[in-house]
């Protein structure tokens, strides 16, 4: 794809800093005024190339521009004022976001040498207060540079992770299609073969042995019902159950079993991806089934808590708790699938806490 010039307002706004040099020309600079004008114009051209034309310049041309930019900055510290070197603030953004990573060390080294040059000029031609101020500004500039480099690195890692997750999702979808195809083949293939044979046999027997034909027709009817039931099971397996739908279903089940059931903040599960909601729903279903079958409880209180980075599901009953040495192995396996944690305590009954990360991917 053909590179384009950076003409957006956010990039062009950086050119406003060039006005500092133009104003500096009217503040009685050291040296020849005409030489300073020529240097300011040269700096303006180089600075504009770095801001606007960096997408179309190769790294070596870009470094040449940056080298001239740094050298002229040192000269302006001498001819105008030490504060002119605050142009290095732009470098703290230019290097991490524009320069290719493998070349950044050369740009950073050049900037640090130029800063030392500015400090040396300030020490020779200005008083100590200017030097101290510049050192403070340079420390801030370097910290911003480091922070921006980390930001770019994290952004790159996030993009790589998203690409890998997309590839994983494609593989999962392909695997799921293969599984569905195999399920349909295994479930319905022999059924339809049997239906075909039995219907043909019934047609042949209908005039010869009506009782036998009725038996075959009844068998065909039974096979068709079984096939329908199996197809429905396959379809149900394909449905991704949302967490709130699962809570509604379990609420009806517990009410029918004469349990008091309370669930607070179930809507907070919406921040999770559908796949994580489905797994969390299965964990809830298994935990509540354990309550119904083994706890001897009469009341169950559940809640979801949003902790920014994680979601915590709590299931607390008023039953007899968990016997020592007993583990919730199946729930633990599901929790591990989403890189979560499981905490089980006996606290006036059994208290199960499942914490899962909020990330969009499994």
Whether residue 337 sits in one domain with residue 248: yes
**Selection from 147, 5, 7, 137 nearest residue 73 by Cα:** 137
Residue 231 sits in the same domain as residue 301:
no
Total number of domains in the chain = 3
Residue 288: CATH number of its domain: 3.30.565.10
Same domain, residue pair 48 and 65 = yes
Residues 22 and 93 in one domain: yes
**What whole-number distance in Å separates Cα of residue 39 and Cα of residue 340?**
61
Strand partners, 312: 305, 355
Residue owning tokens 């583990």: 327
Residue 257 falls inside a structural domain: yes
Q: Does one domain contain both 12 and 118?
A: yes
pLDDT in the model for residue 235 = 67
Strands of the sheet with 310-317, listed across from one edge: 260-264, 299-306, 310-317, 350-357, 341-346
Residue ending a domain, choose from 110, 125, 140: 125
Supply the DSSP string of 239-272, one letter for each residue.
S---HHHHHHHHHHHHHHTT-EEEEE-GGGGGGS
Range of the domain at 57: 3-125
The structure tokens 């030490």 sit at: 82
Same domain flag for 213 and 289: no
- Domain CATH for 186: 1.20.5
Nearest to 257 by CA among 227, 295, 224, 311: 295
Which of 90, 125, 160 lies at the terminal end of a domain, its last residue?
125
Question: Do 16 and 92 lie in a common domain?
Answer: yes
- Specify the pLDDT at position 164: 76
Domain final position from 125, 152, 167:
125
**Domain annotation covers residue 172:** no
Each residue's pLDDT, cut to its tens digit, for the chain (362 residues) gives 455 666 666 666 666 677 777 776 677 677 788 888 888 888 888 888 888 887 788 889 989 999 999 999 898 888 888 888 888 888 888 889 888 888 999 999 999 999 999 999 999 988 888 889 899 999 999 999 999 999 999 888 888 877 876 776 677 667 767 766 776 666 666 667 676 777 777 777 777 777 777 777 777 777 777 777 777 766 666 656 678 888 888 888 888 778 888 999 888 888 887 778 888 888 888 888 888 877 788 899 999 998 878 889 999 998 888 777 677 788 888 888 888 898 888 878 888 999 988 765 44
Q: Are residues 283 and 219 in the same domain?
A: no
Residue 15 lies in a domain: yes
């Amino acid at each position: 794809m053909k590179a384009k010039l950076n003409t957006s307002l956010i990039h062009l706004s950086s050119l406003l800093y060039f006005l500092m040099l133009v104003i500096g020309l009217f503040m009685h600079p050291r040296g020849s005024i005409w030489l300073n004008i020529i240097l300011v114009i040269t700096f303006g051209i180089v600075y504009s190339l770095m801001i606007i034309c960096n997408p179309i310049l190769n790294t070596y041309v870009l470094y040449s521009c940056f080298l001239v930019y740094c050298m002229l900055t040192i000269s302006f510290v001498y001819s105008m004022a030490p504060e002119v070197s605050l142009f290095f603030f732009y470098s703290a953004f230019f290097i991490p976001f524009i320069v290719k990573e493998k070349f950044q060390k050369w740009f950073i080294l050049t900037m640090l040498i130029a800063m030392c040059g500015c400090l040396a000029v300030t020490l020779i031609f200005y008083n100590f207060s200017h030097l101290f101020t510049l050192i403070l500004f340079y420390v801030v500039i370097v910290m911003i540079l480091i922070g921006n480099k980390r930001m770019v690195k994290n952004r790159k890692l996030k993009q790589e992770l998203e690409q890998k997750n997309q590839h994983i999702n494609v593989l999962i979808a392909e695997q799921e299609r293969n599984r569905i195809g195999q399920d349909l083949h295994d479930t319905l293939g022999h059924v339809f073969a049997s239906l075909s044979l039995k219907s043909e046999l019934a047609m042949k027997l209908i005039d010869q042995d009506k009782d036998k034909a009725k038996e075959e027709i009844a068998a065909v009817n039974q096979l068709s019902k079984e096939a329908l039931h199996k197809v429905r099971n396959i379809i149900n397996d394909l449905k991704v159950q949302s967490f709130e739908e699962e809570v509604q279903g379990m609420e009806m089940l517990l009410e029918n079993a004469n349990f008091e059931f309370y669930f607070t903040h179930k809507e907070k599960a919406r921040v999770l991806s559908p796949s994580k909601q489905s797994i969390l729903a299965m964990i809830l279903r298994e935990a509540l089934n354990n309550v119904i079958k083994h706890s001897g409880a009469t009341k169950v209180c559940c809640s979801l808590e949003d902790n920014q980075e994680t979601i915590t599901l709590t299931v607390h009953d008023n039953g007899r708790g968990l016997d020592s040495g007993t583990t919730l192995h199946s729930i633990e396996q599901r929790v591990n699938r989403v890189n979560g944690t499981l905490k089980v305590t006996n606290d006036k009954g059994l208290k199960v806490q499942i914490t899962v990360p909020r990330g969009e991917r499994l």
